[in-house]
Structure 1
Amino acid sequence: MTTFDYGPIEFYAIAFDGDRPGPTVLQAIDDLVATGTVNLLDLVFVRRSPEGEIETLDVSDTVDDGAPALDLVGLAGHEDIQYLADSLEPGTSAAIVVVELLWAKAFAAALYDAGGAVIAREGIPAPVVNAFLSEYAD
């Protein structure tokens, strides 16, 4: 069976009101890392000023208890950051999180060995799923 060094990765832009995400976002990420669900590869904080300018924040300057360990610092490049931060409203901030999906690593290897390849993927945010299910539940 094929063994990959890394499983699939995903980029998330998680928006927050105000000029920086709160400390609970790091705790949520730490919890996922601790359970072996994801591996944190890169983390960038950005904010959009009231005038509309996007500023990248140094993670160590925004976290009181020290920055988390990152496996591939810089994986989220300037173009990625600009693209993901493009929809930020003025006066808001975002955590751009790049995670390796550890739960999917063996699955990716098995697909590869079987000659398969993921050709499309669509994510649906949890609030949308739950709102839909609560509206259409029996």
Structure 2
Amino acid sequence: MTTFEYGPIEFYAVSFDGDRPGPAILQAIDDLVAAGTVNVLDLVYARRSPEGELEVLELSDTTDDGGVPALDLAGLAGIDDIEELAENVAPGTSAAILVVELLWAKAFASALYDAGGAVIARESIPAPIVNAFLTANVDDEEDAS
């Protein structure tokens, strides 16, 4: 069986108020890493000034004590990626731009490759949208009954 060094990766922009994500956001990411669900390959912060200017901060620029976690592929998120992902960051807010390897999908990717298959398209729908849609449709079905 083929063994890929890395599984599929995804880019995320996680918004938050202020310059740095709160402890709960960081804990949620740490929990996923500890569970072996994802591997954080790159992480930068993007903040938009009240005037609308975008500033990008490398993770190493955000800590005074040098306690920066090792990232497998720091620099993977290029400025074009960051600017595109930060497009919806509102003035006065910030976002963490994460590049994560989907560890759960690594074996799936290998199996598809070995079977002669390849993922040629993929679309992601954020969980809040999925849940809002399902809640609205369940309510509609219950009203129709």
TM-score (norm 1): 0.91
Alpha-carbon separation, structure 2, partners of 1:17 and 1:133 = 28
Deviates more, 1:107-116 or 1:67-76: 67-76
1:76 aligns with 2:77: yes
Aligned residues: 138
Alpha-carbon separation, structure 1, partners of 2:23 and 2:46 = 15
CA RMSD of aligned residues (A): 1.7
Structure 2: give runs of 5+ residues left out of the alignment. Answer: none
Match of 1:12 in 2: 12
| Local SS of the residue matching 2:2 | coil
The letter of the residue matching 2:16 is: F
| Local SS of the residue matching 1:122 | coil
TM-score (norm 2): 0.87
Alpha-carbon separation, structure 2, partners of 1:19 and 1:56 = 11
> 1:83-102 CA deviation, whole Å, 9 max, x = no partner?
11122111110000100000
Match of 2:133 in 1: 132
The letter of the residue matching 1:119 is: I
Structure 1: give runs of 5+ residues left out of the alignment. Answer: none
Deviates more, 1:36-45 or 1:68-77: 68-77
| Higher helix residue share | 2
